[in-house]
Amino acid sequence: MELYTKVWDDVLHDIREKVGPLRFNLWFKNTRLESFDDNSANILVPNVFTQVWLQENFSNVLREGIGKLVNKDLNIRFSVVKSGGGENVPTTDIPLPEKRAGGNKNYTQLNRNLRLEEFVVGPNNRLAYTAALEMINDKYPAFNPLFIHGPVGVGKTHILQGIWNRVKEEQSVNAIYMPAEKWTNEFIYSLQKGKMEAFRQKFRNADIFLIDDVHFLSNKQGVQEEFLHTFNALYELSKRIILASDAHPKMIGQLKENLASRFMSGMVTKIDKPEYATRLLILRSKAARFDVHFSEEVLEFIANKFDGNVREVESALTTLSAHAKFNEKKIDIQLASDVLGEFFCAEGKIIKITQIETVVMNYFNISRNDLHSNKKMKSISFPRQICMYLIKTLLDWSYQQIGNYFSSKKHTTVMFAIKKVKEQIDCDKQFKLFIDTLTEKIKKEKH
């Protein structure tokens, strides 16, 4: 039993990181691993509702989490804990996905529900969506590659997986989708096992190559080199390449210049956070899939409160729906306000100065000693000026406070640095995009 507890604690820690504290507390808090053997793992859940929801929405997360620790692909079984004692009641297995020829593991990453026809189009994403359709409908599109970037939760993954789902249904092509992290892991494994020829054949024979979270390649020189060779091999054969990242190619820190140039050789388009009208459309679309009623008044209330992260919006609806069912309550403004209060607080979470420093130091590859030094070379003074600007913008420190923090620099020095950054933002759109990207990274940085 101690072994099961240790394994489950590790699995839960990993799941919490992936799904966030709100969904974790709602669906995983009262679960435990009862047993596992060579074929399956049995998880105890408090009720059938939780069992069904976990089975339909988190089966891959559970399978991958347990499989990674026990080094096996296991079926997942659930048992509902009987109230008032008695034996646990086992429920239905979750079957493993069918293995395809060649053992391609890409398919476990895909969500069949992410379909292009369900993607809500608005001013913030219309160009990216239209470009995606062009990549599907034309074997030799007018642009190639397509590089989509934007902040977390605005629909980049939805578009990439929607493309994959569409072409697998309508075209006889070899389409590969995977996050850059998984591609990297396969590359390292193949390198260690002497299987590079098979690795290269697998990816260089793709007709459509979809890679998500490209920013993961940052600061991985050997991996970038191999990725560049894969990219070039596909590009020379006029294969369609679609990439997604949190940042513009030029804004991905420590990315090889020739790789960034290749990413920008086709079409680069940004998805912004949706404005209110599009957020409301997204809410209506997602609310229609629930078996509880969300009034227009409640949807408008949520649309006003959230800044456009679609994942958070969907999580809010899920949480609200569950509370209404468990407590047998009608979903109204009061319930929405009470239940989603933690979501709204999270939107205004406190940013610490260490988050700002960490992001700036990582991007420019400099030390904290350099950042706080009096060195005047541009490779150090420029990041220092940006750091001062971000502290002023995000924390609203006074010029004197910032000066004192940076080795007792004069407040006039700080004023000059911040003014210089502001002026460049006003006259250089690419630089403004860069600052916006750093700001997004800072907001995601862990304390």
Indicate the pLDDT class of residue 170, thresholds 50, 70 and 90.
confident
CATH of 116-270, one of 3.30.530.20, 3.40.50.300, 3.40.50.720, 1.10.3720.10: 3.40.50.300
Residues 183 and 227: beta-carbon distance below 8 Å = yes
**Residue 76: its pLDDT value, please?**
86
**Residue 101: its pLDDT value, please?**
35
Indicate the pLDDT class of residue 30, thresholds 50, 70 and 90.
confident
Q: Which CATH class is domain 276-347?
A: mainly alpha
Q: How much of the chain exceeds pLDDT 90, in percent?
A: 31
Judged against a pLDDT cut of 60, whether residue 98 lies above it is answered with no
Residues 125 and 274: beta-carbon distance below 8 Å = yes
Q: How many CB atoms lie within 10 A of CB 281?
A: 16
Judged against a pLDDT cut of 60, whether residue 113 lies above it is answered with yes
Residues 327 and 296: beta-carbon distance below 8 Å = no
Rounded distance, CA 381 to CA 259, Å? 27
**Residue 206: its pLDDT value, please?**
94
**Residue 52: its pLDDT value, please?**
67
Indicate the pLDDT class of residue 102, thresholds 50, 70 and 90.
very low
Most confident of 33-37, 72-76, 227-231: 227-231
**Residue 287: its pLDDT value, please?**
87
Indicate the pLDDT class of residue 202, thresholds 50, 70 and 90.
very high
**Residue 288: its pLDDT value, please?**
86
Query: In the predicted model, what is the mean pLDDT of residues 319-347?
Result: 77
Judged against a pLDDT cut of 50, whether residue 108 lies above it is answered with no
Judged against a pLDDT cut of 90, whether residue 187 lies above it is answered with yes
Parallel/antiparallel/unpaired status of strands 32-36 and 40-45 = antiparallel
Residue where the block lists tokens 């971000």: 390
Residues 362 and 253: beta-carbon distance below 8 Å = yes
Ranges of each domain in the chain: 2-96, 116-270, 276-347, 353-444
Structurally, what CATH architecture does the domain formed by 353-444 represent? Orthogonal Bundle (1.10)
Most confident of 54-68, 73-87, 238-252, 327-341: 238-252
Judged against a pLDDT cut of 60, whether residue 91 lies above it is answered with no
**Distance, first Cα to last Cα, the chain:** 34
Judged against a pLDDT cut of 80, whether residue 50 lies above it is answered with no
DSSP SS3 for 20: coil
What is the separation of C-alpha 304 from the centre of its chain, rounded to a whole number of angstroms?
23
Q: Which fold has domain 2-96?
A: GMP Synthetase; Chain A, domain 3 (3.30.300)
**Residue 96: its pLDDT value, please?**
34
- In a 10 Å sphere around its CB, with 0-12 CB exposed, 13-18 middle and 19+ buried, how is residue 304 labelled? exposed
- Supply φ then ψ for residue 173, to 5 degrees: -130, 160
What digits encode the pLDDT tens for the residues 384-423? 999 999 999 888 788 888 988 887 778 889 999 999 999 9
Query: In the predicted model, what is the mean pLDDT of residues 333-360?
Result: 75
What digits encode the pLDDT tens for the residues 269-305? 999 888 888 888 988 988 888 878 899 998 988 888 7
**Residue 107: its pLDDT value, please?**
41
Query: In the predicted model, what is the mean pLDDT of residues 21-41?
Result: 79
